[in-house]
Structure 1
Amino acid sequence: MVFLYGTGHSPKLRTSYLVTMVFTYITAAVIAEVCSASPSAGSIYLWAAEAGGPRFGRLLGFIVAWWSTTAWTTFCASNTQAAVNYMLSELTVFNVDFPTDTSSVKFRAVQWICTEILLALAAILNFMPPKYFRYVFWFSSMVVLLDFILNIIWLPIGAHNTWGFRTAEEAFMSTYNGTGAPPGWNWCLSYLATAGILIGFDASGHVAEETKNASITAARGIFWSTVVSGIGGLATIILFLFCAPDPDTLFSFGSPQPFVPLYAVVLGRGGHIFMNVICIVALWLVSLTLSYSIHHSPTNQTQNKNTAIAIVAASRLVFAVARDGVLPFSSWVSKVHNGQPRNAVIVVWAVAALVTCTLLPSDVAFTSLVSAAGVPSAAAYGLICLARLICTPKRFPKPQWSLGKWSKPFQFIGVFWNGWVVAVLFSPYAFPVTGANLNYAPIIMAGVTIFALISYFAMPEEAWLPRNRISHFIDSKGAQATVEEVERPSGEDQGTSTPRL
């Protein structure tokens, strides 16, 4: 939200978010349809392999496996730092004599220490017995709902009693350029935050093996959580457009998270502390929307995007990739203890903790981490859409959750939309571009892709995703024995069902 204020404000923000909602819904529908055909742990790289067909499936599977692993582990780091920024912004509110600017090495050191502590606590939470996870998710849902309700009710009252509401013209028509970019590209950069709000919806698929009737439940979780996310995000944006001050005033607070001093002004010191605690817990434990279906229940679907739950989803993805022998030390990473992939949790925590160390030398590490967390997911979505459109346009099982005649148009749109999102996330965020404000996301993405290609050529084909197994799946009936293949003539032999590769 803060970055949205710095990249154009009202009319661009409103338009950008509405565009993002529509095209992300379309992308989520395509991914949900593919998920319905093959719900399994690790899902997204298997979807890419299946969508790529016998010729390109194995290559796409390797690339997306590495991309997705990078996305989820990096997200754990960037999301934890976001929670820490809320916490350290209290230094500004209480006028503590300590630097609060990221240009200060001293501040970045404290920021790094706090991030590592919260990250470790989130990892430890994942070692609890699985039977308690449902209570964590229920609590998470209640906290995020409380956060939303308090903002909807409390913030307008506070704004009315302090600086007042902004007019409709100020809220929807004023512009602001805080990036230094040309006006046209400044508008493009507004998609950085709008696209980042609605990403990561593939998480339902990562735990599909732990979900009843996964071919329907996981697919619905992917799509409908994205819809709910978009609606909730739109309501929140409109709320802040009317209740927040102008961008110059907001950024003049001089804290790593300007909305904390905003809460202090409109809610008072006592009220803002309570609200800030809710925000920190929501980021660390709950935060923005992400579907997560868990514990063998088709009704237990929460929409949470946070560090603790992100580690759950990320560890399942890492476990699945390691189980198939793609990662280094796969035999150790894929070990299960009492039904839990604890070693995979340790790997996710270790990588996220290592990535967090980039805070120390760089004052733009946070924005680079945000991009590095979003780019691989958007690229994977686009690649799956492209593969379904080109590689397996007619040779793919029809899932229970099907788009029917809308499937191909949605795939076409998904390719270009996600290509656009990747381009924006690769862009510098401040101009003129220097070594100090360079966005390192393209470098991270290139390095990960190189590792994926090395793995592809180094691992024998018979060890993972051999061509004949991909052919066997896409020529089968897919996830359920009652569905028919797309556009296959009636009466033709459909083969047997093999949802797993």
Structure 2
Amino acid sequence: MVTLDKSDIPAASVIVGSGGEKDTTTVNVHNASHGHYKEEGELRRGFSLLSCLGLAFAILNSWNGESASAQIVLPSGGSVAMLWGLVVSALATLTMAVSFAEVCHVYPLTGGQLDWTYLLVPEKYRTFASFFVGWMGSTGWISLAASASIIVSNFLSGIIVMWNEDFELKSWQSFLFYLAATIVSWCLNAFGLKILPTLDRIAGVWSMAGIVVVSITILACSSGRFAKAADVFANFNNETGWPDGLAFLLGLLQSVFGLTGFDAVSHMVDEVPRPARTAPMVMVMSICLGAISAFIYLVIFLFCAQDFNALVSSPTGPILQVFLQSTKSMGGTPVNAITFVCVWIVVLGCIQLGSSVAFNAIIASSVVFLQISYIIPMAALVIRGQACLEGNHHQKPVWSLGRFRRVINVIALAMLVLTTVIFTFPPAIPVNGESMNYVVVVLGVAIILCLGTWFVDGRKNYHGPRDIEARLAMAATAL
């Protein structure tokens, strides 16, 4: 944590209200940093701009996420939804990223959407709104972590099937891979705090290098056997039973998933220098890098796929099937919080024991929950505009969307609402108990738990994010 001299820290005012009258609170930042605000679990600012960008790029890992979830989009729009859906999703997600980057620039707080909601929503509603957003955001990140485990599980399962076509993989065996991936993640996060910044830099470089290595491999091995350009750029395939337009929107789940999680760096502002500048930059840069790298990779991926039908039905998964078609070869840490998250990841993973579309459900859950946590602060931006971005007087904003703010915010909100609703639809019709979209069940359970904890405990004991004024003051002096 940054050490400040007492003489350098004046008292400061922060306007946090957003109702009819603004609630101005004066805080002494020296007292906050030497008493009430400083906590035992406070983290040091060990992440540079490069390591933050590496972490953000590795979390999005857009090119890998897009190819790993290709079975979602191939029956729901084919290559048209895969490529041009990515363009649509990237532009829409970029409006969300720049909107929240502006908010993060003004309010660089680790709670991200939770803190922003408290500051942006009118005073009458802000306590419950931030409580609800905190629940949705936390559940979304748990689901996103679960999606990483299930991707690893599917990949390892696919390798086994690829090497032994006669082997019939059981759902419980895939679940064991899922457990193993979750346990490894728990160990790294619980006991590897000191090496995490280095791992994040390596992960970013590894992910970029992976695009190059994989692309060169499948291009070289597919020489002379490429798909036609029309099949790559203009092949629309609808096997869902839904109308074509709705099928295309359902196919956007793949591209939106590959770009979900851009808010990750906002939750690390206590660990980065100059958070009001670094975090917004990384937020926007990660979307640009992720979308561009994913589009290039998907074009190569599709050109090297000689049999699109085989990609959809392959037991190995689309990415391994493309390898097979191309190569013709068969080759200081908050431990309690991390443990809590991993336990819920395991619970969420149990869906795959009873559903053939568990992958879709977990992917959709991660997107839906995080997008719900985005909708409320985004709606506040649309309704209140510039007025809700004038509460932090510790630093003068140097970056603003200006007159384009309202248009960008409205586009972002419209896309959030539309896709959040669409992604709760079943992936295909007719629907039965095995093929239904269980994200509706997961969402219902989460909302019931959220409301239950609010009425039992939250409305009495939750009064908003702690020390929000002092944290804003400290962020302004972080070097």
What TM-score, normalized by structure 1, do the two folds share? Answer: 0.75
Does the CA contact (< 8 Å) of 2:242 and 2:429 recur in 1? Answer: yes
Give the Cα–Cα distance (whole angstroms) in 2 for the partners of residues 198 and 344 of structure 1: 25
Evaluate the alpha carbon distance shift between residue 466 and residue 207 of structure 1 in structure 2; reply closer, same or farther with a 3 A threshold: closer
Does the CA contact (< 8 Å) of 2:115 and 2:465 recur in 1? Answer: no
Does the CA contact (< 8 Å) of 1:204 and 1:218 recur in 2? Answer: yes
Q: Which whole-Å deviations, capped at 9, do the CAs of 1:185-229 have from their partners, x for residues lacking one?
A: 212211111111111111001111111111111111111111111
Is 1:368 paired with 2:361?
A: yes
Corresponding residue pairs, total: 404
SS in 1 for 2:102: helix
Identity of aligned residues (%): 22
Partner of 1:331: none
Partner of 2:146: 77
Evaluate the alpha carbon distance shift between residue 467 and residue 156 of structure 1 in structure 2; reply closer, same or farther with a 3 A threshold: closer
Evaluate the alpha carbon distance shift between residue 132 and residue 13 of structure 1 in structure 2; reply closer, same or farther with a 3 A threshold: closer
Does the CA contact (< 8 Å) of 2:274 and 2:476 recur in 1? Answer: no
Partner of 2:351: 358
Determine which of 428, 431, 440 is the counterpart of 1:430: 428
Amino acid at match of 1:222: M
Determine which of 82, 88, 92 is the counterpart of 1:19: 88
Give the Cα–Cα distance (whole angstroms) in 2 for the partners of residues 77 and 361 of structure 1: 16
Does the CA contact (< 8 Å) of 1:6 and 1:176 recur in 2? Answer: yes
Is 1:242 paired with 2:303?
A: yes
Give the Cα–Cα distance (whole angstroms) in 2 for the partners of residues 469 and 93 of structure 1: 54
Give the Cα–Cα distance (whole angstroms) in 2 for the partners of residues 213 and 46 of structure 1: 18
Evaluate the alpha carbon distance shift between residue 391 and residue 450 of structure 1 in structure 2; reply closer, same or farther with a 3 A threshold: farther
Partner of 1:444: 442
Evaluate the alpha carbon distance shift between residue 341 and residue 366 of structure 1 in structure 2; reply closer, same or farther with a 3 A threshold: same
Partner of 1:125: 188
Aligned-pair CA distance for 1:432: 0.8
Alignment of 1:26-105 (within 5 A): 26-100=95-169
Aligned-pair CA distance for 1:268: 4.1
Aligned-pair CA distance for 1:244: 1.1
Partner of 1:284: none
Amino acid at match of 2:216: I
RMSD over aligned Cα atoms: 2.6
Does the CA contact (< 8 Å) of 1:24 and 1:198 recur in 2? Answer: yes
SS in 1 for 2:242: coil
Alignment of 1:349-428 (within 5 A): 349-391=342-384, 393-397=386-390, 399-428=397-426
Give the unaligned 5+ runs of structure 2: 1-69
Partner of 2:63: none
Is 1:228 paired with 2:289?
A: yes
Give the Cα–Cα distance (whole angstroms) in 2 for the partners of residues 381 and 466 of structure 1: 18
SS in 2 for 1:6: coil
Aligned-pair CA distance for 1:62: 0.8
Aligned-pair CA distance for 1:450: 2.8
Evaluate the alpha carbon distance shift between residue 234 and residue 5 of structure 1 in structure 2; reply closer, same or farther with a 3 A threshold: same
Does the CA contact (< 8 Å) of 1:215 and 1:401 recur in 2? Answer: no
Give the unaligned 5+ runs of structure 1: 101-106, 274-338, 482-498
Does the CA contact (< 8 Å) of 1:37 and 1:478 recur in 2? Answer: no
Aligned-pair CA distance for 1:357: 1.7
Q: Which is further off, 457-466 or 342-351?
A: 457-466
Is 1:134 paired with 2:127?
A: no
Is 1:151 paired with 2:151?
A: no
SS in 2 for 1:177: coil
Aligned-pair CA distance for 1:112: 0.6
Does the CA contact (< 8 Å) of 1:49 and 1:60 recur in 2? Answer: yes
Give the Cα–Cα distance (whole angstroms) in 1 for the partners of residues 460 and 302 of structure 2: 56
The higher relative CO (CA closer than 8 Å, separation ≥ 6) is in 2
Partner of 2:74: 5
Q: Which whole-Å deviations, capped at 9, do the CAs of 1:17-41 have from their partners, x for residues lacking one?
A: 2111111101111111111222222
Aligned-pair CA distance for 1:431: 1.1
Determine which of 243, 259, 264 is the counterpart of 1:182: 243
Does the CA contact (< 8 Å) of 2:249 and 2:419 recur in 1? Answer: no
Does the CA contact (< 8 Å) of 1:4 and 1:193 recur in 2? Answer: yes
Evaluate the alpha carbon distance shift between residue 146 and residue 240 of structure 1 in structure 2; reply closer, same or farther with a 3 A threshold: same
Does the CA contact (< 8 Å) of 1:6 and 1:177 recur in 2? Answer: yes
Give the Cα–Cα distance (whole angstroms) in 2 for the partners of residues 213 and 22 of structure 1: 27
Partner of 1:198: 259
What TM-score, normalized by structure 2, do the two folds share? Answer: 0.78
Partner of 2:37: none
Alignment of 1:443-462 (within 5 A): 443-459=441-457
Q: Which is further off, 41-50 or 61-70?
A: 41-50
Give the Cα–Cα distance (whole angstroms) in 2 for the partners of residues 443 and 477 of structure 1: 41
Amino acid at match of 1:265: Q
